[in-house]
Amino acid sequence: MGASAIAFIVFTVIWGVVGIVLPIIAPKGPNRGIMQVILMLTGATCWLFWLCCYMAQMNPLIGPKLSNHTVLMIAREWGNTIPM
């Protein structure tokens, strides 16, 4: 499984809107600065979390655990005989 440029671009744009565009259009008020910081941090941390999860799926550390019976059955179906 490889990286998909489309997924990377789409999610980067989504979190970019949250972290860059929304703070610019935040409503005026006494807490505007706090709302802007919250939106920027939310966009940055959610994008980083998504990126880590997405990259972890490209090269998983833990693979499927198959029993010996399953491995022998797969080998037989694929035409590879395993000597016992």
> How does DSSP classify residue 56?
H
CA distance 73 to 68: 9
Q: Which residues of 4-34 are buried (b: 16+ CB within 10 A; e: fewer)?
A: eeeeeeeeeeebeebbeebbeeeeeeeeeee
Query: Once rounded to an integer, what is the mean pLDDT over residues 16-32?
Result: 95
**pTM of the full structure:** 0.69
Statement: residue 1 has pLDDT above 60: no
> How does DSSP classify residue 23?
H
Question: What pLDDT score does 65 carry?
Answer: 86
Query: Once rounded to an integer, what is the mean pLDDT over residues 1-25?
Result: 91
Residue 23: pLDDT band with limits 50, 70, 90: very high
Statement: residue 12 has pLDDT above 70: yes
Q: Which amino acid is at 81?
A: T
Under 8 Å between Cβ of 37 and 26: no
